[in-house]
Amino acid sequence: MSIDKSISGRDGAGASPPGDDGSSPTEGTGRPTSPIEFRLDPASGVPTYLQLVQQVEHALRLGYLNPGDQLPKVRDVVAALAINPNTVLKAYRDLEIKGLASGRPGQGTFVQATLSQVALPELTALRRSLSGWLTAADGAGLDEDGMVALFTSALRDFYERRNGSHTRGGAARGETEGVA
């Protein structure tokens, strides 16, 4: 997933959503007010609000967004992508819960913190253990797609578990839990 590299707000390059000029009393002249612009991949299977959250986190990681920057106004996102405003609100709410953004009434939503950068030695260690896992998987007979499928499934289960669901389901390997 990529972020549109439109640094529209800063340079005034006209990448603002069309048909959007200042009929809302809270906006100024309708110039884009955020360094980033969202895009939507309707076929990706990822829920819309989650795509927005991930794009913000990605932008933070890559440095497009810094603390104090404003996230795109709800109205602008809706006008550009034709998505439900409640979805945008949900994404921003999610970011608030994560502590990455905060809303200022009447002004918009602003970036509050950066994502914790993982330190370089930790990254190296993680990479090494990952290579070990890949070697083991290869030795067990998994091909590339099989590795990806296994990893994706485990990743999803990990986050589902972490995000408040207490299920121990989803893992397709060797659990001896009772029948529902």
The single residue among 24, 124, 129, 135 that binds other proteins, judged by CB under 8 A, is: 24
Shortest Å distance, C-beta 96 to other proteins: 11
CA distances from 63 to 5, 31, 87 (A): 11, 22, 25
Under rule CB under 8 A, residue 145 binds other proteins: no
Angle at 61 between CA 58 and CA 65, to 5 degrees: 85
In 3-state terms, what secondary structure has residue 110? strand
Among positions 12, 85, 132, 146, the unique one binding other proteins when judged by CB under 8 A: 85
Q: Does 42 bind other proteins (CB under 8 A)?
A: yes
Which residue, 82 or 120, has its beta carbon nearer to other proteins?
Answer: 82
Exposed e or buried b for every residue in 85-118, given b needs 16+ CB within 10 A?
A: eebbebbbbbbeeeebbebeeeebbbbeeeeeee
- In the block, tokens 């990529």 appear at 2
- Least distance (Å) between residue 58 CB and other proteins: 20
Min dist. Cβ of residue 133 to other proteins (A): 21
CB of 150 to other proteins, least distance (A): 12
Q: Is 178 among the residues that bind other proteins (CB under 8 A)?
A: yes
Q: Does 19 bind other proteins (CB under 8 A)?
A: yes
Pairing of strands 101-104, 108-111: antiparallel
Residues 52-81: x/- map of binding to other proteins (CB under 8 A)?
A: ----------------------xx--xxxx
Site membership for other proteins, residue 83 (CB under 8 A):
yes
The residues that bridge with 108 in the sheet, in sequence order, are: 104
Residue placing its CB nearer to other proteins in the complex, 57 or 96? 96
Are 175 and 166 a contacting pair, CB within 8 Å? no
Task: Count CB-CB contacts under 10 A for residue 75.
Answer: 17
Query: Residues interacting with other proteins, by CB under 8 A?
Result: 19-21, 23-24, 40, 42, 45, 47-48, 74-75, 78-87, 89-90, 93, 153, 160, 165-170, 172, 175-180
